[in-house]
Amino acid sequence: MREIRNMAAGMKDAVAALKKDAASATGEFQSELTRAKTNTEKFKSFTTDLKEANQEVEAFLGETGSNFPTSEASPTPDAHADRNGVTLNKG
């Protein structure tokens, strides 16, 4: 009978330890889940900021959406580059 009581007491201790570990794991999981939600919100905010910055740059670049010069006539005289692509200012 004593052996059965010892086994029962051991099982009770094991079950109590498992419950304690499960509660701890659940708490840690909830904590990480909260952190993940917070980080997701930060990421969404960053994405919104990035979108606004991109729209500002696009507005700055103009309707063409390009930072290359327009095809309009240039007020500077034509200059021809040498074979290395160097253009000398003759002025």
- Whole-number Å distance between alpha carbons of 25 and 21: 6
Decide if 90 contacts 79 (C-beta within 8 A).
Answer: yes
Query: Range with the lowest mean pLDDT among 10-19, 24-33, 49-58?
Result: 49-58
- Whole-number Å distance between alpha carbons of 45 and 17: 42
| Residue type at 21 in one-letter notation | D
Sequence-distant (6+) residues with CB within 8 A of 70 are 64
| Predicted pLDDT at 49 | 93
Judged against a pLDDT cut of 70, whether residue 75 lies above it is answered with: no
- What does the angle CA 69 – CA 74 – CA 78 come to, to the nearest 5 degrees? 110
Record the pTM: 0.46
Instruction: Taking residues 9-32, report their average pLDDT.
Output: 95
